[in-house]
Amino acid sequence: GVTPLTQILSGPFTERYAVPAINVFNDLTLEAVLAAAVENQSPLIVQTSVKTVKSIGSDVLYAMWTAMTAGIEVPVTLHLDHCPEREVITECLRRGWNSVLFDASKLPVEENMRQTVEVVAEARAHGAAVEGEIESITGVEDGIGSDIAAEQQDLAVALEFLRTTQVDVFAPAIGNAHGSYKQAPVLDAQRVSDLVAAYPIPIALHGGSGLSDEQFRDLISRGCAKVNISTALKETFMKSNLAFLETAAERQKWDPPSQFRAVRQDVVELAGSLMRLFGSAGRA
């Protein structure tokens, strides 16, 4: 059933496996990733971007979440991805989202810290969790992020942020980027180990699409217990639709439900493959 984020991540963090945090953007993708979690007996973090919240509406989105998770037996949780807007944070927390990523990485660290303290207090009042970020992750994903390589803060600054704000999860910049990588990324995996050694909380690995199985395994073994995937799912969704439509056009057969079924199956398969790769399959 619906489970707090801290609870979803505690086993994975101590046992060094990871839970996929998948960005969904409509009813089909939400239903498909939940079905993959059930099929693979895996915990799952469902994420929504601010763009998705605004396009569907938090009321409709949350109603879908409630309806589709009713009676579900694997642990699942609803998370608001990169959100710089305090009003949207408040709206989602009131609605029932289980956690939020307050993304004030574009603000000076001092101001980010001051506001993150407020967001943590607000989230706690709703029994929700907070992910924190002090370095803007490179690459633009649903309008969030920066095209300029993120500047890493000193470890001491990151630790002060973590101790002061008491966030539950931390999202560091380690050479990772949103979107597909133009060249193979060189990651600063040691930074994850340093952070976890100094302040042991689950680390969120952003920009998951495009990393190698080996990179996932290494980072997960160092404490990345939440692995964010967005672009790969969008790509699967779009390509699956395209393939179906090409055939439909050839045959002049126009049946939307069979298209949805085909696309759903591809999304279920992608989500399931992530659960098996990250080691969360069979852990529900």
Nearer to ligand 13P, 106 or 253 (CB): 106
Residues 204, 220: Cα–Cα separation, whole Å? 10
Query: Does position 81 bind ligand 13P by CB under 6 A?
Result: yes
Query: Does position 207 bind Na ion by CB under 5 A?
Result: yes
Contact segment (CB under 5 A) with Na ion among 145-153, 154-162, 166-174, 206-214 equals 206-214
Subset of residues 141 to 170 that bind ligand 13P, contact rule: CB under 6 A: 141
76 φ, ψ (degrees, to nearest 5) = -135, 155
Question: Is residue 81 flagged as an active site residue?
Answer: yes
Binding mask 95-134 for ligand 13P (x = CB under 6 A): ----------------------------------------
The least CB distance from residue 174 to Na ion, in Å, is 12
Residue choice 18, 32, 56, 82 for contact with ligand 13P (CB under 6 A): 82
C-alpha closest to that of 98 among 48, 30, 144, 31 = 48
Query: Does position 42 bind Na ion by CB under 5 A?
Result: no
Residues 6+ apart with CB under 8 A from 256: none
Nearer to Na ion, 161 or 237 (CB): 237
Query: Does position 84 bind ligand 13P by CB under 6 A?
Result: no
Residue-by-residue DSSP string for 69-123 = HTT--S-EEEEEEEE--HHHHHHHHHHT-SEEEEE-TTS-HHHHHHHHHHHHHHH
The angle that helices 213-222 and 189-198 make with each other, rounded to 10 degrees, is 20
